[in-house]
Amino acid sequence: MPSLTLEAKGPSFFPLSGELRQVNQRLEEVQKEFVKSKERLGERSKGGSPFTPKIQDKPIPINFHLPSLESYDGSLDPIEHIVAFRAQMALYNTSDVLLCWVFLTTLRGLARMWYN
């Protein structure tokens, strides 16, 4: 008795094969788009920084000294940490750019990984 290969049975034997092929094709397209977007992002960022070029390119003032701030590891209320951070930084009359850089230094562990 002759055996039939899957190809010999034709597309009607596998009614979902066309749809599966389309899904796989779209998945490949999405993966390629993702890789391209990561490459574009990599070109814009310096050292994997989470900040935009506008923030990255702004220098930190020479006379700025990092205040002693409580660190945050993600285990407590994030809103409370942000409120405390902003209150402390208000004393220094800093720019939003500097707030971004300093805030990053207050994060530890999973909170820092999430932020990046």
- Summarize pLDDT for 22-77 with one digit per residue, the tens: 877 888 887 888 777 766 655 544 456 777 788 888 888 888 888 888 899 989 99
First to last CA, the chain: 63
- The model carries a pTM of 0.52
In which band, very low, low, confident or very high, does the pLDDT at 93 lie, cut at 50, 70 and 90? confident
The burial of 54, by beta-carbon neighbours within 10 Å (0-12 exposed, 13-18 middle, 19 or more buried), is given as: exposed
Q: CB of 101 within 8 A of CB of 58?
A: no
